[in-house]
Amino acid sequence: MSAVTCNHPPLHILYTPPPLSPFFSRQIHFPRSQPPHLRSTLSTVLKSHNRNFPHLFGGVKAHISAWEEEPYEILSSGKKSYLDEQDVVTFLNPPKELIPFDPASYNPAAYLWKKIEDMPEERRHRLLHLLKPRLISRAWEIAGTRYDDPKLSKKSASNLLSSEDDQILLEFYNCRTSGGPWPITWFNFFKKAIFRSNNGNAYGRFFGGSVLPQFPNSSSPLYFEVRQLREVMPTEQPCDLAYEFGDGLLDLHQYPQGFPTPVKHPYPFDDQVVIYIRHIGPGVLVGQAWQEGKELQQVPRKFCGEILMVKDHSVSGEFD
């Protein structure tokens, strides 16, 4: 790599990386002894210097080709582990030495949004398996800081919900819960569809995959209505949307092809279950589920913890 001279402060003033050694090759194969958080942080720093601080290189774009080719490491199993995915996991579960001294000096939700945005959309589904249940809950907490940034709070993870197009659209998501008091096996991993009806409102349903019980598929399709809501009612915390299950009997004249006719929800979904939604990145949302109860004196309780939802780009589209 040719040297680039400039009159700006040297990079070590901003960050002093550990000395590079011969094991950094074009294939970016890291030794297994190197801590994962160091690999992730170093890749982020090198790429962000090139992308975000071009003036440090005298107006000349630094050429770090090895880091611009979707950096990854080869695991002992032979599989690739992408560093942009590790960045998200490390940020949600940082080692103590990487926790900022002053958390108020940056917006965590803005950083998380940017890291998810950096991931190719066809790989974002991997977050469903990389993020353990407690990190899904952590993502919900971090997403709460997004409302401190007026510009960031206006961004949406869903094209369907942010589009002003009158066409009826359809989006599919893969979902994973963080667990909770209700031992519903199929509710650990499931799918979600969102569609906009010809009345201009948005609706959706939960359903399982081919290997899961058919309970949420045909006999109880679990429809809900999507509402713009700015507050989680039981906690008074901010949110973007709410999925209100109601009794399940939607009065619609048009549904996506192959969707079953709505029927009354079984218990507990008929007991005023509401899932509050926060956008955390392009095509990625996190929800918090509550069973609020039909009785006025009933105390709301957490239903299944938090839910990570990642858009499935391979099956989204329009329907007639």
pLDDT in tens, 160-189: 887 665 565 899 999 999 876 555 555 688
Domains of the chain, by residue range, sit at 11-99, 152-318
State the Cα–Cα distance between residues 115 and 93, nearest whole angstrom.
14
For residues 310 and 320, what is the distance between their CA atoms, to the nearest angstrom? 24
**pLDDT at position 288:** 95
pLDDT confidence of residue 313 = 85
- Comparing 318 with 202, the larger pLDDT belongs to 202
Whether 151 has a pLDDT exceeding 50, the answer reads yes
Average pLDDT, the chain: 75
Higher-confidence position of 210 and 259? 259
Tokens for 27? Answer: 């294939």
Q: Residue 228 pLDDT > 90, yes or no?
A: yes
pLDDT of res. 57: 35
- CA 87 to chain centroid, in Å, comes to 13
Cα distances from 155 to residues 105, 241, 273, 279, in angstroms, run 21, 13, 26, 8
Distance CA 108, CA 143 (A): 8
Does residue 59 carry a pLDDT above 80?
no
Q: Note the pLDDT of residue 319.
A: 53
Beta bridge partners of 72: 82
Q: State both tokens at 129.
A: 């398996």
pLDDT at residue 179 in the model = 75
- The 3-state DSSP class for residue 207 equals strand
CB 165 within 8 A of CB 314: no
Quick check: 248 pLDDT over 70? yes
Averaged over 43-64, what is the pLDDT?
41
Inform me whether the pLDDT recorded for 49 exceeds 60. no
Cβ atoms within 10 Å, residue 216 = 21
For 16-32, how does the pLDDT look when each residue is reduced to its tens digit (9 = 90+)? 444 433 333 333 333 33
Question: What distance in Å separates the CA atoms of residue 161 and residue 5, rounded to the nearest whole number?
Answer: 48
Tokens representing 38 are 């160091």
